[in-house]
Structure 1
């Protein structure tokens, strides 16, 4: 396929574009963000939501039929009292449509594809338990190990009785949640609930309709940059009505599954590129540090000059990352403190006289 060729033909571009992270991680590559691969993942998602990844099948059921099933599903939920009647949203204008749809696809607004899952306040009195049946998810819980995609654990849990007593709302498995307040919006985290979970007021969620693929809906939300829709300056926030009104290109259920399958294949390729790049970065940094140690271990000026000559021959290869340049700076400072940068003159006044 064309995208696979794009990845392979430009592998050096994807794997060598680096960016420093704001927070440290493990190992010398922990502070490095593989910017090229990150942008490649974004490109894959962008192509996926536009219907550019896989060929369209004219025999597929049109998305208009899927929209009818979604409407019927929501009508039944309203009849059962599980959701409130949704205020009709305006038709999507031509100005709102960011691209031309593939044949058989339909434009719809985001919230037409699901129902809102709202957060609750978590009083201190209900926090502190880790062995109850309902998870209590805060934005910080999205960062826990194992919660990279699915929320499988949280710091706090709550019993059903206590949740009812304090009127804490819970959300169903399959609900996709994300931060809605503060700087966390820009992290664009998306997480899927796997069991009944209460989310706090800093989170917002959408439960996709059963008529569509939950994984495809997760892909759609992952492709959205929520920070583009935030308001406020001191404390940014996203508004439900704004997010719910975002135009979404809807393919048939069969096409959703095809797109997902191909995205998984391409993301797996990105994972392999990322692993290879991080391993190479760690090995590169270890080599740099080993060679720089020969400078500080030099016994005299001649040995230092010889060791530096050996390193300088490969300067453009060795000092290509921020970490390697920082290591070089620190080595120079250490050599200065050790008095190894310039030859020592035995005729100089001894430091004892200066004291």
Structure 2
């Protein structure tokens, strides 16, 4: 099967296999990675260096002639003093070859075909953050992308740089050290003259002669190269690829004429992959826009009849709309928004009016203030219609959050807890990082001794409290259960307390909606980290349903979220199957 047939025969598989995006780069669509097309690219590259991408030609000159020319060129550079005499590289036993090569190809070591030049360490005072006269850019591992980039470079004086340390056209820049094994050996070729040098955590592979330059640059993008580089660069903590390991890498070398045909064919097939990616990305974006539009009609519906009509339109195309994790996540967010807008459950005439619940909350707060357990509450205030942040049923009561909560308090000041106060396995403090999915996941190292906890007794949590992040991700909350009762509110958190009739899970739903989170984010302060102040939270407008309706809403949301999670699980299983099929096609093509 030809490479083009391999693509077209499995077109649905290549374009249909997608995964959650792990990083930026080629083959990604912002939120998902086109894993099938990425796998296809790797297959094309691997077939190319195995001699299986194009037909061999008996008219091609023997590869031994090319290798002899390279050896002669090296000797010439040694004679002129431009290169040091190389230590003899080990022979390549047949058993060490990664795979069998076509007739007319040969395995060579990288050190036979190219000069490997290590980067240089410069002292801090020699480096400038800004460009200067008689300075050149110092490239580092972060500049190695699909091509060599000039982002976030620093500059060093030209006078400090050996001429051979300057990058020239055809040089291949390589990351030699990284905390990530996946980044060690990452390479990009200079396609034009680059006025730059490279740092100590990098190296340059400089092909010996121009004939092999393009092919070697292409080779360093292939799985055959990456697997060898990563295996040689494994380490503890920091992964390092040394010059000796690079010199000894095995390179499959075809005749020079075939090299040109390989590079040309790869360029042609990569362009085809580009078109496939673009088409798939466009389809995903169009799908996302359609989902946004149709879900938007639900939350923007003016009345029950319009909502029913819009839901019917969406339900008719449910199977084609909710086919990605992103679309299901958006459906979940829409469910939350509809919940706090009173659109998920019917009104029950037997329910106590929401305004009566507000009155009960206020009466209780006055009583608590009389016992000096909380501050004296302000009189109940009616919100102006202009303050409503979303539509809600007429039988719900709009109020400021401070009138819904019994108490809104912050955790202790940072000056009240010092580094030496923390112990292992003591009384936990709950900070934003300990809140996930409405539950508390403590860190045993972020805790204090019982005597210190007693000093901070004013910040003790009790069952039914809600702890809420006041820095970082706004709206992050968790409910305190019996298990966490007696633990402490951390410095980065709020404690929210409520009337017993308030459903704590309804409050969590409220803070999970985009509407509330956008309100809080828009009114928060901070540049490096969002900080939510006490006053903003108190003023936040809230539509409060009757107590019994809160319970029905929470129950309905739980039912719908379970269905969404089941749908997502089925999609993930189908996606995993597609990815495994793509892997199987690749393995079959190579073996």
The aligned counterpart of 1:259 is: 262
The aligned counterpart of 1:309 is: 312
> Quick one: structure 1 residues 191 and 41, their matched pair in 2 at CA, closer, same or farther if it must change by over 3 Å?
same
The aligned counterpart of 1:155 is: 153
The aligned counterpart of 2:131 is: 130
Q: If the length of structure 1 is used for normalisation, what is the TM-score?
A: 0.90
Distance 1:110 1:153 in 2: 29
Q: Which moved more, 1:228-237 or 1:301-310?
A: 301-310
The aligned counterpart of 1:325 is: 328
Distance 1:163 1:88 in 2: 28
> Quick one: structure 1 residues 149 and 49, their matched pair in 2 at CA, closer, same or farther if it must change by over 3 Å?
same
Distance 1:24 1:40 in 2: 18
> Quick one: structure 1 residues 206 and 185, their matched pair in 2 at CA, closer, same or farther if it must change by over 3 Å?
farther
Distance 2:47 2:131 in 1: 41
Distance 1:51 1:24 in 2: 31
Shift of 1:131: 4.6
Higher relative contact order (CA 8 A, sep 6+): 1
Equivalent runs, 1:1-355 vs 2, <5 Å? 2-23=2-23, 29-125=29-125, 126-132=127-133, 134-142=136-144, 148-151=146-149, 155-163=153-161, 169-183=165-179, 186-187=182-183, 189-193=186-190, 194-210=193-209, 212-223=211-222, 224-225=225-226, 226-355=229-358
Query: Does the residue aligned with 1:195 lie in a helix, a strand or coil?
Result: coil
Q: Deviations over 1:120-179 (max 9, x none)?
A: 123332222325453210122335xxxx42446763233422446xx9943433210121
Do 1:176 and 1:191's aligned partners in 2 also have CA atoms closer than 8 Å? yes
The aligned counterpart of 2:564 is: none
Do 1:23 and 1:31's aligned partners in 2 also have CA atoms closer than 8 Å? no
Do 2:232 and 2:241's aligned partners in 1 also have CA atoms closer than 8 Å? yes
Do 2:118 and 2:200's aligned partners in 1 also have CA atoms closer than 8 Å? yes
Distance 1:23 1:307 in 2: 36
Higher gyration radius (CA): 2
Query: Does the residue aligned with 1:129 lie in a helix, a strand or coil?
Result: coil
Q: Deviations over 1:40-86 (max 9, x none)?
A: 11000001001111111112111111111111111111112212221
Distance 1:180 1:222 in 2: 15
Do 2:130 and 2:154's aligned partners in 1 also have CA atoms closer than 8 Å? yes
Do 1:70 and 1:113's aligned partners in 2 also have CA atoms closer than 8 Å? yes
Query: Does the residue aligned with 2:91 lie in a helix, a strand or coil?
Result: coil
Do 2:89 and 2:111's aligned partners in 1 also have CA atoms closer than 8 Å? no
Q: Which moved more, 1:266-275 or 1:203-212?
A: 203-212
Q: Structure 1 unaligned runs (5+)?
A: none
> Quick one: structure 1 residues 237 and 292, their matched pair in 2 at CA, closer, same or farther if it must change by over 3 Å?
same
Aligned-residue Cα RMSD (Å) equals: 2.4
Query: Does the residue aligned with 1:262 lie in a helix, a strand or coil?
Result: helix
Do 2:118 and 2:204's aligned partners in 1 also have CA atoms closer than 8 Å? yes
Q: Deviations over 1:213-239 (max 9, x none)?
A: 311111111102233332113222223
> Quick one: structure 1 residues 307 and 153, their matched pair in 2 at CA, closer, same or farther if it must change by over 3 Å?
closer
Q: Which moved more, 1:284-293 or 1:102-111?
A: 102-111
Query: Does the residue aligned with 2:119 lie in a helix, a strand or coil?
Result: coil
> Quick one: structure 1 residues 185 and 214, their matched pair in 2 at CA, closer, same or farther if it must change by over 3 Å?
farther
Task: Report the count of equivalent residues.
Answer: 347
> Quick one: structure 1 residues 211 and 78, their matched pair in 2 at CA, closer, same or farther if it must change by over 3 Å?
same
Shift of 1:330: 0.9
Do 2:180 and 2:239's aligned partners in 1 also have CA atoms closer than 8 Å? no
Shift of 1:354: 2.1
Shift of 1:24: 6.6
Shift of 1:312: 2.2
Shift of 1:302: 4.2
> Quick one: structure 1 residues 215 and 154, their matched pair in 2 at CA, closer, same or farther if it must change by over 3 Å?
farther
